Chain A
């Protein structure tokens, strides 16, 4: 007989031991190390790092190991950890224009200063399972690096801005951007807040939203003006020094989309910029983010906003996967008190419904 659960302590203990056992898998095989994950599951680690909003690949790899490869659970672990860290200061804005790009492509020009650099990409691989990977082999050779390295890579959107065809961004108002990890978001949200939320938002959610704008739900006509992946320096300016110093490098993916804007009474027809920036290498998300960023401009551009991706509250309040998974999965918690009152309610309504039907039938018979 199933008895109402008491002795939760013992059950939780046993569940945790079982979980640890499942995580380890077959003990006859060597245990995977966080270091191996960091080096060989790089894109999974990058995703966890971005959505966990904690730019440390070692910690992200550890989280991934602990979560048995569950990316959202791993992001959750990282978020919980980062909240415990003291904050010293905010970094200077990253200069992605000075990026050491490993990959830089533009879909809008066949060739351009700085060139098209494919870099390490799946884009033109044929998706045929490579069974040789099932066996362990020697490390593949790396193509020799260009002795000259990559030259300067001016931003593609700069060419369009120079010609006046790209809508100018609002100038820097000198104000510190809001921090959604410290203050609750308020609506209507500013663009810095929006971009912050999107950068840590769930890749799958943004992917679906971005895709919907391409299929008529939001009317985007996007072009990838530029996509670049590489390392940027992180600078901080300690107040006691009075000048900026470098504290290291991080890998980021930046995407700038050019999208048509029909113009208005005040502004001529032009391109507008959707912007995506994601820590680590994650082109799918950077592109989806740029699409959603542009869709969310509908209000300020005076465009008709009818699609989900154009609805700021809808997008920003549902893009965080730690929040979303928490609320969806909380349905697994006991709800029997509410459910009991629901049962009583339903029985009461049903009794009335039955009684009314009987009365109606009697009336019809008479």
Chain B
């Protein structure tokens, strides 16, 4: 039982048994070797429900060591219920140090956002992924989608983009806009806002993506080229609320829209709570 400390009555360090962690680490290594390619893995039942981040949790559990410092965010914030729950889970089963500060974390598990602060080498960003297959709305059958990936045939996705632009003048996807990784594989960036897509490009941090229910892992190694799918004459354009943050005044961060009354009142605040705190201090 090596370093595996018996933390929470009867469970191994970070919940998963060591054999499962090894299986997942192999899938991670394979994913890093083939950037953007989906690696099937034997996802386990976790004590949190599918859709809550079981893929991300399994990745985090497999890479976490006793000296790591973990940050968990959901919608950019550390204080959202699901982030609190997952953070508590790892405190309970791994006893690792946790932090809300992006700069101090070695592992950051996230749902739907990439932190505003530039990540650095040595940091790992773990994404929770609901639907790993970027083509699923165009081709729901996995056998067919796999063939299209093998052939590098992404004409369906390009065509959808073209139709959106022809019909409404811009792309239809405001979040989860697909990206080409290393010029080879089309990849779902998970449902992050388009605003976050450029942060995937040549990221200094390791990006890991885990989909528990769909049993897939994929990865982007540091400094990899990641381009949002677009056309030369219609370059990808991320959307951002125009209003400044009501707390820190930031204009270039991604905002949450908060309904302040039922007469149409709205307030905009930074979605990244740590970024907002840094701006205010």
Q: What residues make up the interface of A, taking CB atoms closer than 8 Å to B? A: 109-113, 118, 123-124, 126-128, 154, 156, 158-159, 162-163, 214-217, 219, 262-263, 269
Contacts and interface: CB of A to CB of B under 8 A. Distances in A.
B5 interface: no
A162 B167 CA distance: 26
B259 A126 contact: no
B258 interface: yes
B140 A127 contact: no
B108 to A, nearest CB: 20
**Cβ-closest 6 pairs across A and B:** A216-B140, A154-B262, A127-B47, A124-B85, A216-B136, A112-B259
Nearest to B45: A127
A124 B262 contact: no
B97 to A, nearest CB: 20
A126 B92 contact: yes
B157 to A, nearest CB: 13
B168 A269 contact: yes
5 contacts: A112-B258, A113-B260, A215-B136, A215-B140, A219-B137
Q: Which of B89, B259, B269 counts the most chain A CB atoms within 10 A?
A: B259
A112 B259 CA distance: 5
Interface in B36-55: 46-49
Contact of A109 (B139, B172, B257): B257
Interface string B24-42: 0000000000000000000
Contacts of B46: 127
Interface in B70-85: 75, 77, 80-82, 84-85
Nearest to B257: A109
A124 B140 contact: no
Interface residues of B, number: 33
SS of B interface (majority):
loop
A113 B265 CA distance: 10
A321 to B, nearest CB: 23
Given A215-B131, A216-B136, A216-B140, A124 B82 contact: yes
B172 A262 contact: yes
A123 B81 contact: yes
A263 B164 CA distance: 12
Nearest to B256: A110
B278 interface: no
Contacts of B75: 110
Contacts of B48: 126-127
A262 B92 contact: no
B259 A111 contact: yes
Contacts of A113: 259-262
Given A154-B262, A216-B137, A124 B47 contact: no
A222 to B, nearest CB: 12
Given A124-B81, A262-B172, A110 B258 contact: yes
B192 to A, nearest CB: 15
Given A110-B256, A124-B85, A158 B168 contact: no
